[in-house]
Amino acid sequence: MEIQFVASFSPIVPDPSVAKAFYQQRLGLSFEGEADDYVFTEQLGGVKHFGLWPLTEAAQALAAVLGVVLVWPTYEAGPARGVVHNAPAVIGPDGEVLGVYRKTHLFPAERQWATPGDDVLVVPTPLGRVGSVICFDGDFPELVRIEAGLGAEVVVRPSAFLRAADIWELTTRARAYDNHVYVVAPNAVGVDPGGFVYFGNSLVVGPTGEVLARGTSQPGWVSATIGLDPMATISPGSSVRQGFDHLAERNVGLYRRHRAVLEAEAASPFPAAPPPREGG
């Protein structure tokens, strides 16, 4: 199967009409050929009174026209005033929303306005089982491990990531390798209204941690063909067959013995600096 995703020219678009025009132009005119899955970057902006941002309806129509599975990061307004989730929708090739993931680990700057979700998302699609995390979520191994345990084959990580390109690649590749899943991780490019510059470097990573495709710091998309015996060898270019499975070979007895430690409140022994005002 082939996966394609788009990196936005701006992670936060203040005018929905500008965003709509941009994506209509990009998706309606610029893409050639067909792909099975499209994934966008985090934070397109805008919230309606209740439910997903109105541009989601246009994304649903687009998915149906192209016959693709589309991961559409947006915002979701909750039923109570002041409840807003950072929430990508997984849209099926018939245009129906298959599921919505609400970001569970908020970056410090997000906590001023966003509400954390309380569950994971893994949904069946015609391409396989798809899970989702968002940006800062990818720093937490437990989250992707839960989704892999629920059968996720592809985990998407739409992001507006600012900290450093090496941390971005490290955490994305680690989550793929930890769980032997594909991770599709589009990251924003361009400058947001606050003046922060996003470096892009979008990634498609295979189950052995190999980078299958890499974006640049410019708007665009990258694609990768996946699913062709991804666990054939222990590392890219090696002739040695893959002989272990991180999920199957977990020492579950050890984890149960220390369950209280895993579930307890904890903090780094090194004091954290005041949180920066940037995306996570």
Report pTM. 0.84
In percent, the amount of the chain with pLDDT more than 70 equals 78
**Whole-number pLDDT of residue 59:** 85
Confidence tier at 34 by pLDDT (50, 70, 90) = very low
Q: Give the model's confidence band at 14: pLDDT under 50 very low, under 70 low, under 90 confident, else very high.
A: very low
Residues 90-101: tens digit of each pLDDT = 999 999 999 999
Distance CA 53, CA 75 (A): 6
Contact by Cβ (8 Å): 81, 127: no
Asked if residue 119 has pLDDT above 90, the reply is: yes
Q: Are 225 and 13 in contact (CB under 8 A)?
A: no
The closest alpha carbon to 40, from 64, 65, 17, 22, belongs to: 22
Average pLDDT in the chain:
83
Burial class (CB in 10 A: 0-12, 13-18, 19+), 200: buried
Q: pLDDT tens digits, residue range 43-61?
A: 444 333 346 667 788 888 9
- Please determine, for residue 37, whether its predicted confidence score (pLDDT) is greater than 80: no
How many other β-carbons are positioned within 10 Å of the β-carbon of residue 59? Answer: 26
In the chain, how many H helices and how many E strands? 6, 15
244-268: b or e for each residue (b if 16 or more CB lie within 10 Å)?
A: eeeeeeeeeeeeeeeeeeeeeeeee
pLDDT at 273: 74
* Cα separation, 238 vs 183, whole angstroms: 21
Residue type, 52: L
As a whole number of angstroms, the distance between CA 120 and CA 143 comes to 7
Higher-scoring residue by pLDDT: 154, 52: 154
Burial class (CB in 10 A: 0-12, 13-18, 19+), 94: exposed
pLDDT at 2: 53
Q: What is the CATH number of domain 2-263?
A: 3.60.110.10
- Mean pLDDT, residues 32-41: 50
Region 221-246: mean pLDDT is: 85
Nearest to 279 by CA among 204, 198, 184, 171: 198
Q: Give the pLDDT of residue 279.
A: 56
CA 185, 189, 74, 82 torsion-angle sign? positive
Farthest CA pair distance, the chain: 58
Determine the residue type at 9: F
Residues facing 100 on adjacent strands? 89
The residue-averaged pLDDT of 213-230 equals 84
Which residue in this structure is represented by tokens 């022994």?
269
Higher pLDDT, 21 or 200: 200
Q: Which ranges of the chain does DSSP label H, i.e. alpha helix?
A: 16-25, 55-66, 141-149, 165-179, 252-257, 259-263
- Answer with the residue of higher pLDDT: 196 or 171: 171
What pLDDT is attached to residue 62? 87
